[in-house]
Amino acid sequence: MSFYVTTPIYYVNAQPHLGHAYTSIAADVLARHHRRRGDDTFFLTGTDEHGEPVADAARAQGLEPRAWADLNAEKFKALLPAIGVAPDFFIRTTDAEHKRRVQEVLQRVYDNGHVYKGLYEGWYCPRCADFKTESEILDGNRCPIHEIELTREQEENWFFRLSAFQGRLEQLFESQPDFVAPARARHEAQAFIAQGLQDVSLSRAKLRWGVEVPWDEGHVFYVWFDALLNYYTALGYARAGEDLTARYWPPSVHLVGKEILKFHTLYWPAMLWAAGLELPRQVFVHGFLQGSDGRKMSKSLGNGLDPFAVLERYGADALRFYLLRDVSFGGDGNVGMDAVASRYEAELANEYGNLVSRTLAMLVRYRDGRIPEAPVDPVLESELASLAAEVAAAIDGVDPSGGLELIWQRVRRLNRYVEERKPWELARDQDASTSLDSVLVTLHRGLQVVTTELGPYMPDTSARVLQALAAIPLEVIPPLFPKTP
């Protein structure tokens, strides 16, 4: 089985922040999980570097767009190892191979008769790089996302005949209801279709910073089509001398935030049809992380969560755990440093960390670090045996938070087991030696199972604990989740 997962490619006109880390972490958890299951896995992320927002930001810094993009792409790349995210390839839309393939695919779309020249007039948001419909805009002709005033723009453009795909899209959503998940996102996409799809601009004449339209050199492609195609072009050159397209196309799942649903669930499938390419199996639309007060995170409100502050204080595994644990993946959720601190102490340090240190310490104290030969408690054995399949089902449903909850139920079960069986009392009773063996073996086995399942979420912690379980260290190991100042 192959598994191909992507994140949106991030605009280089901003600094990497928690929202970018969030989608990348979720994709990384899916990729690590599938890889462990033996699936032939490919995980793609990268940066979106063309278009007006980037050209404008570069100009504001007194730089050429390419120089500005180079600077910022490095920051997005550097974020990944810091948060434990290991993609198979990092695409930049300024890569020559990407641009060449964008031209190839869109030339095909043109040759297939899906493109025409027309005059475009509409309300344009330079931050979204998108025209807005009358029904979307806020009072005072403002952008519904950025709330800035929109400009009325008119220009001669190449158009993509999106309207011609109306019926086919309706049919797609009916025949393949899980093409867009969760259901709320599917309904939103269907509501867009129900309004009636209009043709969309495929090129911009005013802008120079983009991929040139091969049949009309005065134009560059509208940045969104250049960007969407990254999911396809990357497979052609991610491995030198090898084309991975046949191996991984179509994608298993695109993870995207809810603000870019329209592009991924309407424009993208239509474009793929127009180019004669297979559609991804699923677009999974997740919610937004908001400040601790439920408002959009912003520096001026001081309600944001800085990923770098969390990394410094608690480390990458804790950040990954926190984001997928505190906000159910798919919905919106509020995040803040206080919540990180309380999850860290209550769950990572007290529940999981203690279970690990207690178990290792008892194996050393009572059995000199040897794992006794004894049967695992049959009740726990069966509860543990089903965990891997349950977590796999959650991950297949793109529910990493659900998977984590299933694991945590077992962590709590093991802690209850310790309280119930009181191994320290068994240790004082010479006749209870077999019982103590069984309790120790059960805890050891239980920790192996939960820690293996935790691997995709907390790769570092999991590797350290599995190593300690394989060869019990006789000296006291430092706490996994130390108290923080």
Active-site residues: which are they?
17, 20, 125, 128, 143, 146, 296, 299
**Applying CB under 6 A, which of residues 57, 228, 234, 277 lies at the interface with ligand MSP?**
228
Minimum distance of ligand MSP from residue 201's CB (angstroms): 16
Number of C-beta neighbours around residue 471 at 10 A: 8
Nearer to ligand MSP, 257 or 280 (CB): 257
Only one of the segments 207-215, 251-259, 307-315, 411-419 lies at the binding site for ligand MSP (rule: CB under 6 A); that segment is 251-259
Per DSSP bridges, beta strands 283-286 and 253-257 are parallel
Question: Which of 55, 58, 260, 283 lies at the binding interface for ligand MSP (CB under 6 A)?
Answer: 260
| Residue 180 contacts residue 200 (beta carbons within 8 Å) | no
Least Å distance between CB 98 and ligand MSP?
A: 12
**227 or 318, CB closer to ligand MSP?**
227
What count of Cα atoms within 13 Å lies in the side-chain half-sphere of residue 49?
25
Nearest residue to the partner ligand MSP, using Cβ: 19
Distance CA 259, CA 145 (A): 8
User: For ligand MSP, how many residues bind (rule: CB under 6 A)?
Assistant: 17
What's 408's DSSP letter?
H
Shortest CA distance to 24 belongs to which of 374, 402, 400, 421? 400
Residue for token digits 């297979």? 278
Residues 278, 159: Cα–Cα separation, whole Å: 22
Q: Minimum CB separation from ligand MSP for residue 9, in Å?
A: 5
By the 8 A CB rule, do 321 and 339 touch?
no
Tokens describing residue 76? 């997005």
47, containing H or E segment: strand 40-48
Q: Is 289 a binder of ligand MSP (CB under 6 A)?
A: yes
In angstroms, rounded to a whole number, what is the distance separating the alpha carbons of residues 15 and 351?
A: 35
CB of 251 to ligand MSP, least distance (A): 12
| Stretch of 204-212, 252-260, 418-426, 440-448 lying at the interface with ligand MSP (CB under 6 A) | 252-260
Residue 260 or residue 458: which is nearer to ligand MSP going by CB? 260
Using CB under 6 A as the binding rule, whether residue 257 contacts ligand MSP is answered as: yes
Subset of 1-60 contacting ligand MSP (CB under 6 A):
8-11, 19-20, 22-23, 48
CB of 27 to ligand MSP, least distance (A): 9
Q: Is there binding between residue 291 and ligand MSP (CB under 6 A)?
A: no
Which amino acid, one-letter code, is at 3? F
Q: Which is nearer to ligand MSP, 257 or 423 (CB)?
A: 257
x/- contact string, 175-214, with ligand MSP (CB under 6 A)? ----------------------------------------
The residue written with tokens 């950025």 in the block is 146
Q: What is the Rg, in whole angstroms, of the alpha carbon atoms belonging to the chain?
A: 26
Given CA atoms 268, 271, 273, 279 in this order, what sign does their dihedral have? Answer: negative
Q: Residue 236 CB, nearest distance to ligand MSP (Å)?
A: 16
Distance, CA of 124 to chain centre:
29
Q: Which is nearer to ligand MSP, 111 or 147 (CB)?
A: 147
Q: Is 89 in the site for ligand MSP (CB under 6 A)?
A: no
Identify the bridge partners of residue 151 per DSSP, sorted by sequence position: 124
From 90, 192, 288, 308, residue interacting with ligand MSP (rule: CB under 6 A): 288
Nearer to ligand MSP, 245 or 409 (CB): 245
Task: Report in angstroms how near the CB of residue 121 gets to ligand MSP at its nearest.
Answer: 24
CB-wise, 72 or 462, nearer to ligand MSP? 72
Q: Quick one: 134 exposed, middle or buried, by C-beta within 10 A (0-12, 13-18, 19+)?
A: exposed
Give whichever of 20 and 101 is closer to ligand MSP, judged by the CB atom: 20
Interaction of residue 321 with ligand MSP, rule CB under 6 A = no
Q: How big, in percent rounded to 5, are the helix, strand and coil portions of the chain?
A: 55, 15, 30
Return the axis-axis angle of helices 183-194 and 166-175, rounded to nearest 10°. Answer: 160
**E strand intervals along 295-354:** 333-334
* Residue 43, beta-bridge partner list: 5
Shortest approach of ligand MSP to residue 56 CB, angstroms? 14
Which residues contact ligand MSP (rule: CB under 6 A)? 8-11, 19-20, 22-23, 48, 227-228, 256-257, 259-260, 288-289
